């Protein structure tokens, strides 16, 4: 038997959202390479930032990613960068996400390999964050990126903020890069038949981790003005531990307290098959079901 094919996702964020030619140059690193599949990219002019989604074999994705970091260094000058989104480098962040036959431990190893190789090749300081973080203080990206590009020249010199790889000084034009391993995020929103934002907010507080709710759930209330309703807008940060159906049912239960109803939900962007298969298995009360029974899971072996 051949070894099962490993698949990781990588969602690098680059600090260029306006100059299409530059973005294309960077994105080209992910095109026409064996074992690398560019799923899509989006850019935001206000954020002045591009977000690329790539999947493929770990080694191939890592090598393409190193090439992309090199191109970003060539075409982006952070000393001239302006944008609404927090950023600290030309290649701002590089999260690796285990998708298939890859453990989180392997994704962390891959993040470290990339960080080592890219830092040596480009003399680029790199912080590891989330599951790849070297200390708990570095797990949260917001903490790592605090001060942004403009504050990094000083920050990297502080002993507690010495980069995990690379020099203790910023790259003069490319700043600092964050490299991580994390679970896939699922953007999941549940709609309520009320226009009262405070109800969505209260329910969000009940179900999210921050204020006492489910461990891998972040959330807040959001108004859908055109529909005259509100929603509990969430990021599910580990669907394998905090299941979609669990937060959905919990929101239905909480909504009762306010005399409102759940009228539907939505998944924004992509979702791993397993998150929905698990949901179906719950509602159908499936006994002894294995993901291996899903034909598509077998096809990707």
Write out the catalytic residue numbers. 85
* CA–CA separation, 152 and 189 (whole Å): 35
Q: Is 50 helix (H, G, I), strand (E, B) or coil?
A: strand
Q: Are 152 and 88 in contact (CB under 8 A)?
A: yes
Q: Binding residue for a second copy (CB under 8 A) from 55, 72, 115, 128?
A: 55
| Cα–Cα distance list, 21 to 28, 30, 75 (Å) | 11, 15, 10
Closest distance between a second copy and the C-beta of residue 276, in Å? 4
Q: Does 272 bind a second copy (CB under 8 A)?
A: yes
Pair type for strands 91-100 and 229-236: unpaired
Closest distance between a second copy and the C-beta of residue 270, in Å? 5
Measured in residues, the chain has a length of 301
Q: Does 9 bind a second copy (CB under 8 A)?
A: yes
Q: Binding residue for a second copy (CB under 8 A) from 36, 244, 250, 255?
A: 244
Q: Are 54 and 78 in contact (CB under 8 A)?
A: no
* Per-position x/- string for 252-271, each x denoting binding to a second copy as judged by CB under 8 A, each - no binding: ----------xxxxxx-xxx
Q: Does 294 bind a second copy (CB under 8 A)?
A: yes
* CA–CA separation, 143 and 141 (whole Å): 5
The span of 140-148, 171-179, 208-216, 280-288 binding a second copy (CB under 8 A) equals: 280-288
Q: Does 99 bind a second copy (CB under 8 A)?
A: yes
How many chain residues are in contact with a second copy, going by CB under 8 A?
A: 44
Nearer to a second copy by C-beta: 158 or 283?
Answer: 283
Q: Does 289 bind a second copy (CB under 8 A)?
A: yes
* CA–CA separation, 122 and 284 (whole Å): 53
| Cα–Cα distance list, 295 to 29, 132, 240 (Å) | 32, 32, 20
Binding site for a second copy (CB under 8 A): 7, 9, 37, 39, 55, 99-100, 184, 191, 244-245, 248, 262-267, 269-273, 276-277, 279-281, 283-289, 293-301
């Amino acid at each position: 038997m051949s070894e099962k094919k490993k698949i990781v996702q990588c969602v690098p964020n680059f600090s260029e959202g306006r100059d299409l030619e530059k973005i294309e140059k960077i994105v080209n690193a992910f095109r026409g390479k064996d074992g690398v599949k560019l799923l899509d990219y989006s850019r935001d002019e206000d954020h002045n930032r591009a977000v690329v989604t790539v999947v493929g074999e770990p080694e191939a994705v890592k090598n393409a990613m190193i090439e992309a970091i090199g191109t970003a260094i060539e075409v982006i000058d952070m000393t001239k960068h302006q944008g609404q989104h927090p950023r600290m480098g030309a290649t701002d962040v590089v999260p690796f996400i285990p998708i298939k036959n890859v453990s989180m431990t392997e994704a962390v190893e891959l993040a470290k390999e990339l960080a080592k190789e890219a830092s040596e090749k480009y003399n680029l300081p790199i912080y590891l964050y989330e599951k790849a973080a070297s200390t708990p203080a570095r797990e949260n990206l917001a903490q790592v990126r605090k001060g942004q590009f403009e504050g990094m020249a000083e920050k990297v010199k502080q002993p507690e903020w010495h980069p995990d790889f690379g020099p203790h000084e910023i790259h003069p034009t490319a700043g600092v890069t964050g490299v991580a391993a994390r679970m896939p995020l699922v953007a999941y929103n549940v709609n309520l038949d009320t226009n009262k934002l405070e109800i969505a907010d209260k329910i969000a507080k009940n179900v999210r981790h921050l204020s006492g709710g489910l461990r891998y759930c972040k959330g807040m209330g959001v108004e859908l003005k055109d529909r005259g309703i509100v929603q509990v807008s969430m990021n599910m940060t580990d669907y394998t531990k905090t299941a979609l159906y669990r937060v959905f049912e919990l929101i239905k239960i909480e909504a009762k307290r306010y005399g409102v109803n759940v009228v539907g939900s939505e998944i924004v962007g992509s979702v791993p098959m397993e998150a929905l298969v698990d949901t179906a298995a719950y509602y159908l009360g499936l006994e002894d079901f294995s993901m291996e029974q899903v034909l598509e899971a077998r096809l990707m072996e």
